[in-house]
Structure 1
């Protein structure tokens, strides 16, 4: 018998967690002061998900304190699941909520870090949306990266090569500063796109990357370069990126030697902690308990 509590006790890393949406719905409701109709539910891709973001979650987050509260809720729920290392993404757009002041933004993150530093290894990640104002990203990101607060960067948005040239300088700076380089690709795009993103940005890790499972040569490429994929099974199923959990390609990736972790993505939307996803993957026959333990243990290796 496999229980969620067994996995909660296991040290683990969540390296793909958008902290403005990284809390339980039950944690979010008292803070937000409203319910979201028919939620959580399965979505027909990202556009469907973004209707909820546009109508409910984004309008509710107005002030600097709102951003800090959301991050706090997400960190607390990660701790409740036994997460010991949290590489949590904080979007650069929230500088708008801090009076468009990078120092205020950094101070806000530092307050959260100090609050939880004795409970969890919190490693803030700078999230950058491809559809956000690129001029503001170019203005704000270097100061954020030089601060030393951010341990990784991540680019998300449409999984296409168009526009990537706007961010190559930032990824080169990240390399010089010793900041881990990540990007979203391969949830809705193919194996070729995963390889190309890794090559263009010299990525260390990939957010999602499950498209790589369709091409053995790309999986070998990832293994040879020791590129880790932060896979979010519940997200992939709930966003209809894969037909079912039973058919999830994390099994193929793992069996071909690709370094993978299990992550939450947006807990508010997908309603599954890492521990719950571990149990679900085992019960669906995708991975064995021993394989899941191996994934979790490897994720927290020094």
Structure 2
């Protein structure tokens, strides 16, 4: 595995992908042109998304969603996102969906958006061979009251396609316990749980997410490495980390992939997976993530196979879907 094409050909499962954050910039520009919306301020001279730091990134992210106003817009977005993922060898993806952006947390409107997204995902599965499932995500800096409305949307549409609930946004806004009610509701509805932590909030944010939200997966979680007792706890409890190395480097948490702690976490027995987070914002793809990890740590096909198996076991989908994915992986082997 030394050529870029080899990394694209390797079958991958991605567990941490923000739906709007995966929108190719050219797609957003085209949609803005159709709607006669000026979004020039969010792009650089090369046409890429432009931001200065994580908090500015959040503003640019939300500005880009301003042109996504209808279920049809989200159907087109879903097609664009899944085409990009499939081209990078992804056979299964879990995408974070926010009713905040899809109908303003109104349940009836959210159901219309969800129907459109699912139809597009079904077409992509048929035409491209990529399976998608949705994790509804509340936005932390929007506050716990709005999170409750989002949780109601999640609970009412939980099933074989909406399979998880999580929280994203600014980790410095509020505390995980402020959102416990929403997580309890979604747990009772049968949804599996994840939470962004340990990206900007440090090790304590991971502990709080585990203790107050009772999640089985942590989005990012890489700053656990600053507390080795926490690292051992993650390993002992089998907590899955949805690690996004390219994102962490692009946002300046680590200077380069070689300095990223994913290999140290893996060596200490933590179950890590690899994802892109918001790929066009960070000039990444799943194939590029694999290539960077190969170059930094010498990861080979055996290691990537272990990472893929961990992702399969941790995926928020039913046993039948996992069995189908496992057969595809066996065929590749």
Question: TM-score, normalized by length of structure 1?
Answer: 0.88
In 2, Cα distance between equivalents of 1:191 and 1:297: 26
Aligned CA distance change for structure 1 residues 54 and 124 (closer, same or farther; 3 Å): closer
Work out whether residues 98 and 105 of structure 1, in 8 Å CA contact, stay in contact via their aligned partners in 2: no
- 2:99 aligned with 1:92: yes
- 2:140 aligned with 1:103: no
In 2, Cα distance between equivalents of 1:126 and 1:2: 37
Matched pairs, number: 300
- 2:297 aligned with 1:286: yes
Cα offsets for 1:16-61 (capped at 9, x unmatched): 1011121444555544547722454785431231343355x13332
Question: Relative to structure 2, which stretch is displaced further, 255-264 or 61-70?
Answer: 61-70
Cα offsets for 1:56-90 (capped at 9, x unmatched): x1333233322332222112211111111111111
Cα offsets for 1:219-251 (capped at 9, x unmatched): 111111111111111111111111222201111
Q: Which ranges in structure 1 are unaligned for 5 or more consecutive residues?
A: none
Structure-to-structure mapping, 1:129-140, within 5 angstroms: 129-132=139-142, 134-140=144-150
Given candidates 257, 281, 289, the residue that maps to 1:245 is 257
- 2:281 aligned with 1:269: yes
Work out whether residues 140 and 147 of structure 2, in 8 Å CA contact, stay in contact via their aligned partners in 1: no
SS in 1 for 2:141: coil
Cα offsets for 1:162-210 (capped at 9, x unmatched): 3433421221233233311011111112222212211111111011000
Q: Which ranges in structure 2 are unaligned for 5 or more consecutive residues?
A: 34-38, 314-321, 323-333
Work out whether residues 64 and 97 of structure 1, in 8 Å CA contact, stay in contact via their aligned partners in 2: no
Question: Relative to structure 2, which stretch is displaced further, 241-250 or 126-135?
Answer: 126-135
In 1, Cα distance between equivalents of 2:59 and 2:186: 33
SS in 1 for 2:85: helix
Shift of 1:212: 0.5
Question: Relative to structure 2, which stretch is displaced further, 167-176 or 133-142?
Answer: 133-142
In 1, Cα distance between equivalents of 2:150 and 2:19: 19
- 2:16 aligned with 1:5: no
